[in-house]
Structure 1
């Protein structure tokens, strides 16, 4: 027991006697420690928090190579764990056409046309946020509403709730969706009065077109994740 105490004291002396790599001060640090719930500063060494306390004591951790950040009253929290965060989807949505609060399908067609003008032939044009209940006719759109502005690019636009997509004829053709295509389990292909697919695919039927898109590269995943995390931290 005595030996353990001595070793602990030596370890503590080594750690507490060194300068920190980073010191945050002049903030509101939420410690989650009921005995000391709040502090104003903390010190970090080698990516580990080694000290939490008040600004007056923070100076002892600052050396010539220490980076010091004045938080100017900002909060510091422990890391949050979100059990239902669509990080890649959030980042991806910021690169797609934002269709939220669009007043009608004609407006969306113009937005798609504008995006295609900046894209290459064959590029997938993606968007999210449309809601037919906000439009005057309150009816599902069709592939024919998009086809005039997208003859050479597959277009897939996700509904605001994420449970349906609106695809143009190019996307349906690439996915092999025809009048003979059966509804997948847990999904539905919307058909017109002649039995032809309209371009709206619900739930698991969305995979018919989504599966034809190329997988994201590592670079693309990093880009989307970075965008989402920056937004989450803003």
Structure 2
């Protein structure tokens, strides 16, 4: 495979030729663990160092920024996002905070009243596992709440949905598709068909509004790069290319686009950096569609397999030969095993070296074993994972334990074992499944509900900054060193510390002998840092409003 440099859609170059000195702060840089100043020039980091040395630059720059003690870090990269769906949840009907089924139906009714002109009502975020009623909304309840209008309402994991009769009637033949069981949430082909109809009702202006809202939210949280995971079963080519065009035309986070289709040519035509992302090998645990070796504890089956080992192998070979990343959505242990077996078959044909060099990806990878972890390391696979999943659904009484039983649930998301084995990790949110929340994501990994799976705050922070860049084949970004892209965020925070996986907080990080730059104290209960500004390629894409 030839050397490649992925090109994202992102901040225009205009205005990035200014030279800026930031001083009197804390700069998180491995080049100088105790740096207090930084120079940015032509969209790149030009220098990092001490306050005293910064005086030499003061007269030769276009602007001096007084940090007033603020922390400067690399901007975060969210390695798995569905941008339009995230924006729709931000601007529309979001049921993630509904405490009961009854309240969810009230919110549906209120949303329908507010949006009389929408051809299809859209909503997201219901989770029956959190409601005392322990069931999804029925179709007759939704028909009543919407006055008989079309409604598409996704479960929090986006792998199943409930809809109104009016929306079903818009999709010919949907009742004969797999995944349709009268009275149950839609899954599989039935869900994909209904989702396509619902999203087709969006106008281009609505899509753009949602994408702008999501990018603004990301920037306000210190996120400088998004990995968009699109595909024919998730969004549409128009949605995908529209996002890339928007990101190229307007300031905001960079966007690397992944298109989840086995047609490698199509992915390249759409401007994707990989025929990857949510190319479904299975579904999700919450919707009982993740593919398992042994049955669910609360359902008499093992989930759904969408691709075979042979399918995986063929796709990996095609992508590797085309110079694109391959990648797959795999959550259940049977799905992960199938992916590993497919990669091994591809390696037998092309050689392990070519497979490793391509830096292919696996999304989610929640139910891994020591054997599949070792295979990830051997084959150079990046695990694109979501620590917030454990925070939301892990633990002895969480949804994972309901689905799998406590013993199997404790094996999920073993980040520490992955790092020990040498597996590259890239952190993301899968927004809107869990919210854009980078510091919350770092905290979730460092304080995993299963203690043996915890990693240090420093390792988690690296996976959410540099890890996302490495996941697209870039080793020169996601870190504040001379020559790196000037993608950074400025934070108001408390004392900087070094935090280990066993919850120890070492406040000796200012001792030069440690050589380790500090990070905020993320112990649960401590306030998360507040983003003051986000800069992408030297250009400010977010500044906290005064007051």
Classify the TM-score, shorter chain.
Answer: 0.7 to 0.9
* Distance in 2 of aligned mates of 1:153 and 1:191: 19
1:23: which partner in 2? 21
* Distance in 1 of aligned mates of 2:127 and 2:75: 35
The counterpart of 2:140, out of the listed 138, 141, 144, is 144
The counterpart of 1:191, out of the listed 182, 189, 192, is 182
For structure 2, which runs of at least 5 residues remain unmatched after alignment? 1-17, 224-530, 532-547
2:177: which partner in 1? 182
In the TM superposition, structure 1's runs of 4+ consecutive aligned residues that sit over 6 Å from their partners are none
Q: Deviations over 1:91-136 (max 9, x none)?
A: 3321232212423333222111211222133433222221223334
- The CA deviation at 1:169 is 1.5
Alignment of 1:61-210 (within 5 A): 61-63=57-59, 66-151=62-147, 153-176=149-172, 179=175, 181-183=176-178, 188-192=179-183, 200-210=185-195
Any idea what SS the aligned residue of 2:215 has? helix
- The CA deviation at 1:175 is 2.3
Greater relative contact order: 1 or 2 (C-alpha under 8 angstroms, separation 6 or more)? 2
* Distance in 2 of aligned mates of 1:216 and 1:65: 45
The counterpart of 1:219, out of the listed 208, 215, 218, is 208
Any idea what SS the aligned residue of 2:45 has? strand
Task: Identify which range, 84-93 or 136-145, moves more after superposition.
Answer: 84-93
* Distance in 2 of aligned mates of 1:174 and 1:142: 18
* Distance in 2 of aligned mates of 1:145 and 1:226: 35
- The CA deviation at 1:230 is 2.2
TM-score scaled by structure 1? 0.73
How many residues get paired? 202
Any idea what SS the aligned residue of 1:50 has? strand
* Distance in 2 of aligned mates of 1:207 and 1:61: 57
Change (3 A) 1:230 1:91: farther
1:11: which partner in 2? none
- The CA deviation at 1:72 is 2.5
Contact 2:96 2:126 (C-alpha < 8 Å) held by counterparts: yes
TM-score scaled by structure 2? 0.34
- The CA deviation at 1:41 is 0.5
* Distance in 2 of aligned mates of 1:72 and 1:87: 34
- The CA deviation at 1:145 is 0.7
Q: Rg: which structure is higher?
A: 1
1:16: which partner in 2? none
1:14: which partner in 2? none
Change (3 A) 1:48 1:136: closer
Any idea what SS the aligned residue of 1:103 has? coil
* Distance in 2 of aligned mates of 1:48 and 1:145: 55
Any idea what SS the aligned residue of 1:211 has? helix
Contact 2:174 2:190 (C-alpha < 8 Å) held by counterparts: no
Change (3 A) 1:67 1:92: farther
